[in-house]
Chains A and B, each alone.
Chain A
């Protein structure tokens, strides 16, 4: 029924796409964002691209959420040098010795009301007995999930991009910090530095240009000689990533590899696997873990694992098996015992 509804919506929206709202006056890189949000508002689509995004979301709503193959019962380890648990999308549990950090936590069935996850989260938030920091890379629904943050221990310090503060409810965390690029925070030896990345702002689409400060960031986490770079959600900009590589000696880089299609739009704000590998090289990290794939249908890829299969191929072709770890959702990778 929902699939049928999705098809009907697609036909209707495509028919409307020739209408007055897809005027040539819509220019610039915010075109897709604006159109996507307007299609949400009107539920009829304003362009063929936006309508296809909408139709994909409606189709996905009828699909079951695939169960995750493994969930680590006790993800916080009594003794570990560095562990990385990928819970899906950009949600990564990082433990560096006694410090526990989570990035962009998303555990809800949907984000932004309409986008449903295709696979269950690879981490049970109730198994997190403590947290030191929660890092929010930007304020889009799939990264700044209010319902997910409500499930996390209140002991944590919440980091939000400076422009995202006015979108931040009071969750009751120990502290909330406004993150500005290069302004490092020190907490009991844990050093967290927001770093610039290339993305776009707003939460609802039409508010993309309304913030006085950036609503997106990456982070570098340093603790007792171990350094992890979390790129959040980003397009490729060599100047930015080479600068990060100059300033930090990174052990592990968490870099997004999707959504990929349509490339002419996505390339401004999302890296594909090739560009992600270029970031990996630019920042000079020892190890890369691809993130932001295999969880939500966000682009117009033929299947949710499209980016993963491209990444696998690139790893094989370039002989990067020892340097790029393509984790499954729920996998916990121990790098230093």
Chain B
């Protein structure tokens, strides 16, 4: 019953966030015509506002959080040599899912206080390994993350998959000291 309530709560929040962000993004994106090549930085920014979601194991409770990600540096090793392997912030999905190492920063807003704050952050180093269709259908994510919340900064091992053209990542994160599990659904639009 409790799980059902949490799931319903998560779905409502996710739906509302997606609807809001996409409603904002559509008119901006749709102003162009075929052949226009404006660079799309404005719609890119709006799409970055779409958060991922995470649940964190916690004694007696399961806090839910929204998580926003930014990629200061990504080194891609799966793309043609005609383009630079180095990417920053605006990362074309194939550069990530065809094989890459990504350094990213995240910020979280939790629905419950962890310690004295609703906010958290992390630094992550994630490797993306293509499995099917060069990673466009399915890829493997492995890496490490250090989260800062509730006055502590535990290290997590990260493992998961990416699918749907790299838009959706399902990752599990585990810290052994203290023992914490996280499940994240990360939405990546460039």
Same complex: yes
Contact A210 B40, CB 8 Å, known A29-B33, A150-B134: yes
Which chain B residues border A176 with CB–CB below 8 Å? 80-82
Instruction: Judge if A198 is at the interface, Cβ distance under 8 Å.
Output: yes
| CA gap between A42 and B37 in the complex, in Å | 26
Task: Kindly supply a per-residue 1/0 record for chain A positions 201-229, scoring 1 wherever the CB is within 8 Å of any chain B CB and 0 otherwise.
Answer: 10110111111111000000000000000
Q: How far is the CB of B127 from chain A (nearest CB, A)?
A: 17
Task: Kindly supply a per-residue 1/0 record for chain B positions 1-45, scoring 1 wherever the CB is within 8 Å of any chain A CB and 0 otherwise.
Answer: 000000000000000001100110111011111111111100110
The answer to whether B80 touches A168, judged by C-beta atoms less than 8 angstroms apart, is yes
Contact A113 B164, CB 8 Å, known A146-B133, A169-B79, A176-B80: yes
Chain B residue at minimal CB-CB distance from A198: B34
How many pairs of A and B residues are in contact by the CB < 8 Å rule? 132
Q: Which single member of B22, B27, B34, B38 contacts A42 (CB below 8 Å)?
A: B22
Q: Which single member of A29, A147, A170, A201 contacts B79 (CB below 8 Å)?
A: A170
Contact A28 B133, CB 8 Å, known A206-B189, A210-B40: no
Task: Kindly supply a per-residue 1/0 record for chain B positions 159-190, scoring 1 wherever the CB is within 8 Å of any chain A CB and 0 otherwise.
Answer: 00001110100000000000000000000011
The answer to whether B29 touches A20, judged by C-beta atoms less than 8 angstroms apart, is no
Q: 11 A-B contacts, Cβ less than 8 Å apart?
A: A23-B27, A147-B132, A168-B80, A176-B81, A199-B34, A204-B167, A206-B25, A206-B189, A210-B39, A210-B43, A210-B44
Q: How far is the CB of A236 from chain B (nearest CB, A)?
A: 13
- Say which one of B56-64, B92-100, B111-119, B140-148 lies at the interface with A: B92-100
Q: Which single member of A40, A178, A201 contacts B34 (CB below 8 Å)?
A: A201
Which chain A residues border B35 with CB–CB below 8 Å? 200, 214
Interface residues of B (CB under 8 A from A): 18-19, 22-23, 25-27, 29-40, 43-44, 47, 78-83, 92-95, 98, 132-134, 136-137, 163-165, 167, 189-190
The answer to whether A25 touches B134, judged by C-beta atoms less than 8 angstroms apart, is no
- Say which one of A3-11, A89-97, A159-167, A250-258 lies at the interface with B: A159-167
| CA gap between A23 and B25 in the complex, in Å | 12
Which chain A residues border B22 with CB–CB below 8 Å? 21, 38, 41-42, 46
